[in-house]
Amino acid sequence: MTPREIAVLVLSLGAVFFAIVAAVGLLRLPDIYARAHSTSKSETLGAVLALAAVATSYGLGHNTLKVVLLLLFMFLTNPTAAHAITRAARERGIEPWTTEDEQ
Amino acid sequence: MVAVTESGLLVPVAESASLRNTVTYAVEHALDHADEDGSSASIHFVYPLPERVSYVDRSGRTDAAESLLDRVASWAEEDAGDADLTVETALIATHVYLSTPGDYADVLVRYAEREGLDRAMFDPRYDPIGSTPLLPSLEAEVRRAGLDVDEAPVSAEQQQSQLVRSGTLTQFFTLFAASFLFYLVLAGSLKAFELATGAISAGIVAVSLWRVSLTSSVDPLRTVKRLARFVLYVPFLLWEIAKANFQIAYIVLHPALPIQPKTVEFDAAVWSSLPVTTLANSITLTPGTLTVDVERSHLVVHSLTASAREDLFAGTLERAVRFVFYGRAAARIPSPIERRESEEGEE
């Protein structure tokens, strides 16, 4: 295996790991706000790592540049989507879940 | 003088630099008009305060609007002096959601019809939405509904900022250049065909969007400095994101799910839409915090753990964003927690 293949493999594994974390978080966390944490952060990193793996496998070149642009858009759009969803939830008057001892 | 007919003047108001000037002009205009046709002069100042369910501090916003209306009414009375002038103020549209100029025009026209007003006067800086220029289309809509529309003139002092408008040419070319470059990057070649189609597309983008996408004037030097500092900011942000993810992964995979979610609010010490957007998105991407709502620079943030809240209030991110947009000096403003403490100290 060439070093590049190893790097691609490591990045892909990272991507899979964080995508799984996002999915588990989506199932385990209590309410829409907390779930949005999981989807906005872990999902972003998962997608970004996957794209980084793609970029690495292309090597330096024009396609890589496009992938890097895609990556940038992920960084911009993912938080925005999470923001839009939670804001909609807030406008519907959904109360965030809190632990009992906190008031 | 038989004052049977009453022709009123409708003046929508909001916080604006030229408001004082507009009030004076509106009063003169109303009095002149009343003199001409022998009707009694009246002015209605209205403040559209649209519904926003999410707004927690609604009473605060209403108070601010009412105090503005009071201020405007007292200015108008001061300007009218001894002349006979009826001044009315009203908060309107308090239960509707307004977004487009058409929506604003609708509520204004409905108010005008109900009160029997046939003329409207706009403040040249009237901009209730606060991001895109709204006034020309709003005026057109109101005019179409059959009202006489007038715009208060800009005073000498404001002319200066009007001159900055020549900078819109720079804006145009900045947008053109950015679109052109982007097109060429995607095309990946410099053939004559790509250059020509790129120039055409960039031209279309620049012509149709230059008034929309760049609302402030472009200062090339400042933009370059900002970009340079932004390049410094990216590794910092990436590091924070990586940290965030390991933290979230730990929390999510921990059998006991150790979370203490809580929503917190604070006013960020950043001032215009782009820095606020950057900050809000960065907050969402970093440890345990998620921006839920933003109103100007007031942020509503949902945090997953107590330590995430501490990090947020320590203001590292906010400082970094200020550094990107305003330079090193601005980074030294106190953090949210220090600001809060000093406020509590004063009270």
Position A102 scores a pLDDT of: 45
Q: Is it the case that residue B4 has pLDDT exceeding 80?
A: no
Structural domains of chain B in order of their starting residue, each with its CATH number:
6-154 (3.40.50.620), 164-213 (no CATH), 220-346 (no CATH)
A90 touches chain B (CB under 8 A): yes
Are B288 and B308 in contact by the 8 Å Cβ rule? The answer is: yes
pLDDT digits (tens, 9 = 90+) for B36-49: 766 677 888 888 87
Within 8 A of B284 by CB-CB distance, chain A residues are: 40-41, 79, 82-83
Q: What percent of chain B has pLDDT over 70?
A: 76
pLDDT digits (tens, 9 = 90+) for A8-40: 999 999 999 988 888 888 888 888 888 888 877
A21 → closest Cβ in B252, B280, B293: B252
Are B240 and B285 in contact by the 8 Å Cβ rule? The answer is: yes
Count of A-B CB contacts under 8 Å? 109
Amino acid at B27: V
pLDDT digits (tens, 9 = 90+) for B308-319: 777 777 777 777
In a domain, A100, yes or no: no
Position B158 scores a pLDDT of: 47
Confidence of residue B14 (pLDDT cuts 50, 70, 90): confident
pLDDT digits (tens, 9 = 90+) for B117-127: 888 888 777 76
A79 → closest Cβ in B188, B242, B284: B284
In a domain, A103, yes or no: no
Amino acid at B116: G
Mutate to test the interface with B, among A13, A83, A103 (most CBs of B within 10 A): A83
Position B194 scores a pLDDT of: 87
Q: How many CB atoms lie within 10 A of CB B218?
A: 16
Position A99 scores a pLDDT of: 67
Torsion angle of the four alpha carbons B96, B270, B216, B281, in this order, in degrees rounded to the nearest 10: -70
* Gap between the Cα atoms of B56 and A23, Å rounded: 32
Least confident of B125-139, B152-166, B232-246: B152-166
Q: Is it the case that residue A103 has pLDDT exceeding 60?
A: no
B307 touches chain A (CB under 8 A): no
Alpha helices for A29-95 (secondary structure H): 32-37, 43-58, 62-91
- The owner of tokens 């709003």 is B138
**Region A87-103: what's the mean pLDDT?**
70
Chain B residue whose CA is closest to A49: B242
In a domain, A41, yes or no: yes
Within 8 A of A30 by CB-CB distance, chain B residues are: 259, 261
pLDDT digits (tens, 9 = 90+) for A75-85: 788 888 888 88
A17 touches chain B (CB under 8 A): yes
pLDDT digits (tens, 9 = 90+) for B319-341: 777 777 776 666 666 666 666 55
* Gap between the Cα atoms of B62 and B153, Å rounded: 29
Position A91 scores a pLDDT of: 79
In a domain, A9, yes or no: yes
Are B169 and B188 in contact by the 8 Å Cβ rule? The answer is: no
In a domain, A59, yes or no: yes
Position B254 scores a pLDDT of: 81
Distance from CA of B285 to the nearest CA of A (A): 6
Chain A residue whose CA is closest to B189: A62
B12 closest CA partner among B78, B107, B80: B107
In a domain, A96, yes or no: no
B300 touches chain A (CB under 8 A): yes
* Gap between the Cα atoms of A28 and B249, Å rounded: 12
Are B291 and A87 in contact by the 8 Å Cβ rule? The answer is: no
Q: How many CA atoms lie within 13 A of A2 on its CB side?
A: 6
Q: Is it the case that residue B347 has pLDDT exceeding 50?
A: no
**Region B228-237: what's the mean pLDDT?**
83
Higher pLDDT, B176 or B139: B176
Least confident of A30-34, B92-96, B127-131, B292-296: B127-131
Interface contact B285-A17, CB threshold 8 A:
no
B155 closest CA partner among B269, B291, B25: B25
- Residue B105 DSSP one-character state: H
Confidence of residue B3 (pLDDT cuts 50, 70, 90): very low
A25 touches chain B (CB under 8 A): yes
A24 touches chain B (CB under 8 A): yes
Position B331 scores a pLDDT of: 60
Burial class from Cβ neighbours inside 10 Å (0-12, 13-18, 19+) for residue B108 reads buried
User: How many domains, chain A?
Assistant: 1
A45 → closest Cβ in B245, B263, B302: B245
Chain B residue whose CA is closest to A87: B292
Position B316 scores a pLDDT of: 74
Confidence of residue B211 (pLDDT cuts 50, 70, 90): low
In a domain, A101, yes or no: no
Position A10 scores a pLDDT of: 92
* Gap between the Cα atoms of B208 and A23, Å rounded: 41
**Mean pLDDT, chain B, whole residue set:** 74
B284 touches chain A (CB under 8 A): yes
Q: How far is CA B50 from CA B112, B129, B153, in A?
A: 17, 10, 27
Are B45 and B51 in contact by the 8 Å Cβ rule? The answer is: no
**Region B183-199: what's the mean pLDDT?**
86
Domain that holds residue A67: 3-91
